[in-house]
Chains A and B, each alone.
Chain A
Amino acid sequence: NAGVTQTPKFRVLKTGQSMTLLCAQDMNHEYMYWYRQDPGMGLRLIHYSVGEGTTAKGEVPDGYNVSRLKKQNFLLGLESAAPSQTSVYFCASSRGLSYNEQFFGPGTRLTVL
């Protein structure tokens, strides 16, 4: 099993450009999450999904959109990138019960100039 994979690993954007980050999991997990990690701030939840076709806002959703058309994939979109979105983005998935751990991908390092 590959677990949770993220594409791409690195990306540099100019302000105003758009991009989509792809997260894929092969564990048949119901729940999926997108986080951003910034120095000194830990991980903050951007959006999450509790099942195929459903998405919801997390703690810091502004400037991002998500889609979960297939159970195994969770896409994070930036329509008009801003320097404040420079961060490391992590995707995670879990079986959904509250005591189940979340499995994390390796991260995407995004720089917006």
Chain B
Amino acid sequence: AQSVTQLGSHVSVSEGALVLLRCNYSSSVPPYLFWYVQYPNQGLQLLLKYTSAATLVKGINGFEAEFKKSETSFHLTKPSAHMSDAAEYFCAVILDQTGANNLFFGTGTRLTVIP
């Protein structure tokens, strides 16, 4: 069963435009949710995480995400895209908070920023 679904494997936006990357999760327990970014030929870097403290989470580089339980969503947004935002973005969830805290990743969304 898919734990995390990212809609859209590729998203293109113009520089200065709104960035919206979609993530939906399935979990029977309150999840911990994460967004990671991967720049070309690099490892993953944490953008932000939701750990039930606040539904609107602010991360690095101007990104934020809102946890919506009713919609089982954790979409990533940025008001104004910059060329340096071009990368692949992964949504991930921890389902078992009593075990090894393994992350389940979505399939990723590649963001292209058009000048």
What residues of chain A have their CB less than 8 Å away from a CB belonging to chain B? 4, 31, 33, 40-45, 48, 50, 56, 58, 90, 92, 94, 96-102, 104-107
Contact = CB atoms under 8 A, between A and B. Distances in A.
A42 B34 contact: no
Given A43-B105, A94-B101, A101 B46 contact: yes
A26 to B, nearest CB: 15
Contacts of B43: 4, 90, 104-107
Contacts of A45: 102-103
Interface hub of B42, B49, B90, B102 (most chain A Cβ within 10 A):
B102
Contacts of A98: 32, 94, 97, 101
A96 B101 contact: yes
Interface in B51-88: 51
Interface of B: 9, 32, 34, 36, 41-46, 49, 51, 90, 94, 97, 100-103, 105-108
B71 to A, nearest CB: 21
A56 B100 contact: yes
A89 B49 CA distance: 23
B107 A42 contact: yes
Contacts of A92: 44
A42 B106 contact: yes
Given A33-B102, A97-B101, A42 B90 contact: yes
Contacts of A40: 9, 107-108
Contacts of B102: 33, 45, 48, 58
13 contacts: A31-B100, A33-B102, A40-B107, A42-B90, A42-B106, A56-B100, A90-B43, A94-B101, A98-B101, A99-B49, A101-B34, A101-B49, A105-B43
Contacts of B44: 43, 90, 92, 102, 104
Given A104-B43, A104-B44, A106-B43, A99 B32 contact: yes
